[in-house]
Structure 1
Amino acid sequence: MQLQLKNPIVFFDLETTGVNIATDRIVEISILKVHINGTEESRTYKVNPEMPIPPQASAIHGITDEDVRDAPTFKAIARELARFMEGCDIGGYNSIKFDIPLLAEEFMRAEVDFDMTKRKLVDVQNIFHKMERRTLEAAYKFYCDKDLKDAHSAEADTKATYEVLKAQLERYPDLKNDVAFLAEFSNFSRNVDFAGRIVYNDKDEEVFNFGKYKGVKVEEVLEKDPGYYGWIMNGDFPLYTKKVITNIKLRKFNNQ
């Protein structure tokens, strides 16, 4: 089956130093770009994270400090990646919760303006969990009847994700072969920022999704407790989350 595309779509997977979106770094990124006519091209990069790779992370993906010692930093390849992904919708496996927020952080640290908010985001894991609830290896076996070799290799996981999505479209008649539909269907949340610290309530108002002000409008909190903004700006929060809160603060100021 060929995906019906209005825009090219890139499937990508990251291997990282850990799972903290704000502080961990990419050590490998693989991107599979599917053009509107169905042709494919892929790129895989080892990345020097400019920090030690913890042994527990290496045990999962097999990438060590020695493997990336001479690799380029993310900043060195950021503009090339942005050009390759420009104008594309984005697909991945567990990408909405982890890969997209972390990639957004890396682009911001590299000072490359790469806006993912206007793109359709298809999370194959969320489709799978809504339909079957298992892991990528199990999904690959279930949908494609293949064993996933080299699991936790970014390139293998990326290709498997793309194959699983096509198999899902063939298996479930209710799934539309349309990226806009798949993006909406595979998104469990209504995040304002990628990390889900700020979400929309049922009135489409931005509210905090954590801490003592969970469920309270961001504008209200910033007005009645100005110090909370400073605490967030100085805290261990993702850069994109800080940007979203700052934009809300500036919007309120400009409307006064």
Structure 2
Amino acid sequence: MKLNLKNPIVFFDLETTGTSINADRIVEICYLKVHPNGNEEAKTLRINPEMHIPEGASAIHGIYDADVADCPTFKEVARTIANEIEGCDLAGFNSNRFDIPVLAEEFLRAGVDIDLSRRKFVDVQVIFHKMEQRTLSAAYKFYCGKNLEDAHTAAADTQATYEVLMSQLDRYPELQNDIAFLADYSSFNKNVDFAGRMVYDDNGVEVFNFGKYKGMSVADVLKRDPGYYSWILNSDFTLNTKAMLTKIRLRELTNK
């Protein structure tokens, strides 16, 4: 099986200091770039998160403060990473809900302007859960017939994710070997922001996806409760969420 690609696609996995999209930091990134002609390029980078790696996180991925003390910060490698994924679609395991939002936050903090909204995102975990409802290790065993050695290392998880997608395409004839189809299929919601605090409804209107205004038009809420915008900007939401909300607010002010 060879992926039917119009653009290169980057399979990637992050190891982080924790599970908070806006508070935690990347300590390792591995990406496997697959070109339309089938050529592959892999790279793994350790990152100094500029904060303590909690013992609970280290117990999972095996990366400790001392391991990254002399590594570059994300800001120091952000432009290189952005250049290498430029023009590529992105794929991962639970990437739509975690890895892509975290990566977007790191780029924003580093001051690197990269428009991820133009990419197609294939989340292999969503495809797996829709089909089988299991974990990456189980998916690797189920689809590929192999045990996942070194689970929770970015390189092993990235390679396994790539192989699982290949096997999913072989196993399920209803899955199209097309990145646009796979991106749509592996999306639970059509997110406005990467964290999914705002989503598009069936009519393509941005609506809030949390809190007291859940399901209500973002534009309408900003008109009737202007203070809600300030509350979000001053609260613990991701930089991307705040940026997308500001974009909607400016659009509505311009259209008045």
TM-score, normalized by length of structure 2? 0.99
Partners of 2:180 and 2:219 lie apart in 1 by 30
Q: How far 1:188 moved relative to its partner?
A: 1.1
Q: How far 1:211 moved relative to its partner?
A: 0.9
Q: Show the counterpart of 2:166.
A: 166
Q: How far 1:202 moved relative to its partner?
A: 2.0
Partners of 1:174 and 1:201 lie apart in 2 by 25
Alpha-carbon RMSD: 0.7
Partners of 2:204 and 2:41 lie apart in 1 by 38
CA deviations 1:136-191 (Å, max 9, x no partner) are 00000000000000100001000000000001111111111111111111111111
Q: Give the SS at the match of 2:151.
A: coil
Partners of 1:128 and 1:238 lie apart in 2 by 27
Q: Show the counterpart of 1:106.
A: 106
Q: Show the counterpart of 2:28.
A: 28
Q: How far 1:204 moved relative to its partner?
A: 1.3
Q: Give the SS at the match of 1:117.
A: helix
Q: Show the counterpart of 1:237.
A: 237
Q: Show the counterpart of 2:175.
A: 175
1:8-47 → structure 2 map (5 Å cutoff)? 8-47=8-47
1:92-241 → structure 2 map (5 Å cutoff)? 92-241=92-241
Q: How far 1:37 moved relative to its partner?
A: 0.5
Partners of 1:218 and 1:178 lie apart in 2 by 32
Q: Give the SS at the match of 2:42.
A: strand
Amino acid in structure 2 at the alignment position of 1:42: A
TM-score, normalized by length of structure 1? 0.99
Q: What is the count of residue pairs matched by the alignment?
A: 256
Structure 1 segments unaligned to the other structure (5+ residues): none
Q: How far 1:116 moved relative to its partner?
A: 1.1
Partners of 1:223 and 1:175 lie apart in 2 by 42
What's the % identity of the aligned pairs?
Answer: 66
Partners of 2:208 and 2:57 lie apart in 1 by 31
Amino acid in structure 2 at the alignment position of 1:18: G
Amino acid in structure 1 at the alignment position of 2:183: A
Q: How far 1:216 moved relative to its partner?
A: 1.2
Amino acid in structure 2 at the alignment position of 1:54: P
Partners of 2:223 and 2:54 lie apart in 1 by 41
Deviant stretches of 4+, over 6 Å: none
CA deviations 1:5-46 (Å, max 9, x no partner) are 000000000000111101110000000000111010111000
Partners of 1:107 and 1:96 lie apart in 2 by 16
CA deviations 1:222-242 (Å, max 9, x no partner) are 111111111110111000000
Partners of 1:179 and 1:247 lie apart in 2 by 28
